[in-house]
Amino acid sequence: MPAAGARTAPGTTALSPRSTGIVECVPPAWGALVAEDPSASPSHRPEVWAALAAVFPGFAWRLLAHEEGGELVGGAPVVLARRGPFRWLHALPWLLPAVPLARAGLHRRVDLATCDRLAALARGERVVGGEWSCYRPEGDAPDPAALARVPGETRVVEAALLRLGAGLEPLRAAMSRKQRQALDHARGLGLAFAADAGALDEAYALHVAQSRGWPAHRPLPIELSRRLLAADSDLGPVARLYTLRSAAGLLSATLALESPRETFVWWSGTHPDARHHGPGRPEHRHGVSARRRHRALGFVSALIHRLVHDRPRAYRM
């Protein structure tokens, strides 16, 4: 039987011994999947879906829940977006990962079932577009044959993933000599690093000011960050705001989404005074890339030190 609050797709009467349904509430067993699946991302946490639905008009989240023998064994979140007569299907918006989670040994079966249900949902809702981010840092990627069941095209992009289980030294060893020197220089500047949710307004102002120079970029609403920072569960905070200050004030800040296994840097803002120290790459927009300037390197170094101290996991940019 489907969980309370579930609805079945057209042509489906109930969750069978092996079936995937569309669920409108969070099953009690979902938290265990997020905690146990090594590929679970912060965007698999229901608090993220709830914040998106609360902030953006027309957004409604659903969970494609795969059950076997009456027990939840896998699934993936999606967001339906309505604007006038048109509908889009996002899994998830802004390419937040929504690869199916599953119990050990069941990923291939859950992937196939989720692809079929996603395709059926797209047909049933008559969506005009959307996307599905199948980022899976551990284990096998979803089978291309399974992904081909979903309408559209499949593109492959790369994400920067820093594995922190072995500490900071392997990461330093993989850097170039100039990068290590820049890191050491930044760490000697006497800057103060902290997790400070109270600095959101100040940090967001830096982000908005800096993003004016990024073509076609539109900052996410501050209310979304506010809700994410306020959200919590048995798995810990959903988001943290990390800041870097000098005696003159806030130099840089970044909002990071959190899960038991991964920290995902979503957006950042840096004061112009912190961008005068050598050439660098573009700053974080929506988790896109990492900077290489001295003070930004100091910020990344401090953040990685904090994560290594907290617990082994991965840091994604």
Report the alpha-carbon distance of residue 277 to residue 297 in Å, rounded.
11
The reply to whether omega before 241 is within 30° of 0 (cis) is no
> 3-class DSSP state for residue 64?
strand
What's the distance, CA 261 to chain centroid? 12
DSSP code of residue 136: -
Tokens of 127: 């969506």
User: What is the reported pLDDT for 48?
Assistant: 98
Q: Which residues contact 309 (CB under 8 A, 6 or more apart)?
A: none
Segment 32-43 shows an average pLDDT of: 94
Closest listed residue to residue 30, CA positions, set 93, 99, 80, 101:
101
> 3-class DSSP state for residue 62?
strand
Alpha-carbon separation of residue 281 from 276, 288, 289 (angstroms): 13, 11, 8
Which sequence spans correspond to the domains of the chain? 6-147, 162-316
Q: CA 295, 288, 44 angle in degrees (round to 5)? A: 115
User: What is the reported pLDDT for 275?
Assistant: 60
Report the alpha-carbon distance of residue 110 to residue 101 in Å, rounded.
8
Query: pLDDT confidence of 84, banded at 50, 70, 90?
Result: very high
Q: In the chain, what percentage of residues exceed pLDDT 70?
A: 81
> 3-class DSSP state for residue 154?
coil
Domain 6-147 -> CATH class: alpha beta
> 3-class DSSP state for residue 227?
helix
What is the tens place of the pLDDT at every residue in 157-168?
A: 887 777 777 777
Backbone angles phi, psi at 35, to 5 degrees: -75, -30
Domain 6-147 and domain 162-316 have a common topology: yes
Closest listed residue to residue 222, CA positions, set 243, 241, 248, 250:
241
Residue 45 has pLDDT above 80, yes or no: yes
CB of 96 closer than 8 Å to CB of 135: no
Q: Does the pTM exceed 0.85?
A: no
Measured N-to-C along each axis, helices 222-230 and 46-55 cross at an angle, to the nearest 10 degrees, of: 150
Tokens of 169: 């030294």
**What is the helix, strand, coil percentage profile of the chain, to 5?**
35, 25, 40
Over its C-alpha atoms, the chain yields an Rg (Å, rounded) of 21
Closest listed residue to residue 265, CA positions, set 232, 246, 287:
287
Q: Which residues contact 19 (CB under 8 A, 6 or more apart)?
A: 12, 66, 67, 113
Number of Cβ within a 10 Å radius of residue 292: 18
What is the tens place of the pLDDT at every residue in 202-220?
A: 999 999 999 998 888 899 9
* Average model confidence (pLDDT) across the chain: 82
- Residue 199 CB burial class (10 angstroms; 0-12, 13-18, ≥19): middle
Report the alpha-carbon distance of residue 139 to residue 141 in Å, rounded.
7
User: What is the reported pLDDT for 158?
Assistant: 80
Tokens of 144: 């291309």
What is the tens place of the pLDDT at every residue in 127-181?
A: 999 999 999 988 888 889 899 999 999 888 887 777 777 777 887 888 888 878 8
CB of 137 closer than 8 Å to CB of 161: yes
Report the alpha-carbon distance of residue 96 to residue 258 in Å, rounded.
13
Q: What CATH number should be reported for the domain whose range is 162-316?
A: 3.40.630.30
